[in-house]
Amino acid sequence: MAAADAALSHPHPTTQNANGAYIVAMAHLLSHPDDSVGAWTAAKDALKSRGKGDTTDAAQWLDEGRTGNLGFDTCRQNMGFQYTFVLAFYHLFARVVLRGRNEGRSSARR
């Protein structure tokens, strides 16, 4: 449903697939606030199960966000959705995994 919603303003299937994966990850975090690995896994699984279009680019962006390999040269050339998507997952891991439990609350609740 999130991918269909994204189609209203973003006609490219990669953007639609990434939007769907992002929504799945956020839904996971609402029920499991400190589980960034589970959110990433849920997003990755959502891309794998998506039967429409090629999900290779969106899956690569998801991996870049998790590993911190941000590919800023690519992101600068494609300012906008890709840049935002990669940084969202980068910050999810940088804040929740590295600091979340130590501070007693996750960035998803801030």
pLDDT, residue 33, reads 86
Q: Which residues contact 79 (CB under 8 A, 6 or more apart)?
A: none
pLDDT, residue 31, reads 93
Say how far apart CA 88 and CA 68 lie, in whole Å: 11
Residue spans of the domains in the chain: they are 12-109
pLDDT, residue 100, reads 44
* HEC assignment per residue over 68-96: CCCCHHHHHHCCCHHHHHHHHHHHHHHHH
pLDDT tens digits, residue range 31-82? 998 888 899 999 999 988 876 667 788 888 888 888 877 666 655 665 577 7
The pair of structure tokens assigned to 70 is 């941000």
Say which residue, 4 or 46, is predicted with more confidence: 46
The Cα-based distances of 75 to 34, 44, 56, 72, 81 in angstroms read: 28, 20, 16, 5, 9
Say which residue, 105 or 82, is predicted with more confidence: 82
Say how far apart CA 28 and CA 7 lie, in whole Å: 22
pLDDT, residue 53, reads 67
E strands of 3-109, at which residues?
none
pLDDT, residue 49, reads 84
pLDDT, residue 32, reads 92
Lowest mean pLDDT: which of 16-20, 53-57, 84-88, 95-99? 95-99
pLDDT tens digits, residue range 88-97? 888 887 765 4
